[in-house]
Structure 1
Amino acid sequence: MFGLYITHPQVQIDPAVPVPKWGLSEIGHARAEITAQQPWVRTLGRIVSSDETKAIETANLLAGAAGIAVEIDETMAENDRSATGFLPPPEFEKAADWFFANPDESFNGWERAIDAQARISAAVFRILDEHDPDIPIAFVGHGGVGTLLKCKLGASAISRSADQKGGGGGNLFAFRLADRALTCDWTPMEFWQG
């Protein structure tokens, strides 16, 4: 059976609102709704989400189609960037490049990449250790920590080259539950066939 890590799609950016409270934009919501119609969604037996609004909104749309409830795990949050607050997209991209290129260091007070990787990996592995490997499961979260988890599962060094391509999120990667081996790279969530 398969496990998935799904990143929330496009968000409504509002510099006046704390980033963890941002919700999905119209485009992001539409993409999550299209994804919820895919046949593989109905096979999910469990969905675990970060406690950030955009992830919960995505998870709830998928869970509604699967006929299950969403579990919330606050340790699956995105890397902590609260030290700098909102950064305009060009500045954020430069900061993200630095974050991935210097995983043992903090970018202006951000959570270090190695610490965020340890946190997301511990959360996902703890859940998987207690999960029935015959039941498909999806984790819904964020691109930064998702990339760090993907590097851990793939036994590769932390690198932005492992990140989602294109902006906005709404991608997934799959792995086998039996051995946690990656089975596909980032794929737009509405296009994955299972």
Structure 2
Amino acid sequence: MKTVVIYKSKTGFTKKYAEWISEELSADIFDGSEVTTNMLTAYETVIYGGGLYAVGINGVKFIAQNLDKLKDKKVVVFATGVSPLREEVVSEVKNKNFTSEQQKFIRFFYLRGGFDYRKLNFFDKMLMRLLKTSIKWKVKRKKKLTSDEIGMLEIFNKPADYTRKNKIEEIIAYVTS
């Protein structure tokens, strides 16, 4: 089965998973900026990976907008984020990025990535500083922090990599079934 792995990665965590998946499946791999819709016709399985930014999957619109051309293919989307895997996170991401009709054709997976402030671009650094400020403001007002907020404060100035190769096993099993 001819498979392609496409990814959009700002800090390298999504790229790492994409490379592992490509390796395991002997699949072609491309950065999302290199891919055209016409290229996808040569593949039976299309796997797309992108990092999460405010619950949006980086670059996934390419898949969503071309889903009509992919309906006869196995379509997998994975997102990477810093939060631990929780069902409510998975549901929120799926519902924010895909219509209920699109969800019928896309198999979605969440993989825990990481965080490295130094690798962010200027705009993303500004957004993260705003987030950090809002969390610290919550602390000052003695408001209860969520586990994600506590975790973000802990890793903000210290890179964290939660990627694990064994986390791709479910994707590999689905694609090869």
Whether these two folds match at TM > 0.5 is no
Q: Which structure shows the higher helix fraction?
A: 2
Range class of TM-score, shorter chain: 0.3 to 0.5
Structure holding more strand per residue: 2
Which of these two proteins has the greater Rg computed from alpha carbons?
A: 2
Structure having greater relative contact order (Cα 8 Å, sep ≥ 6)? 1
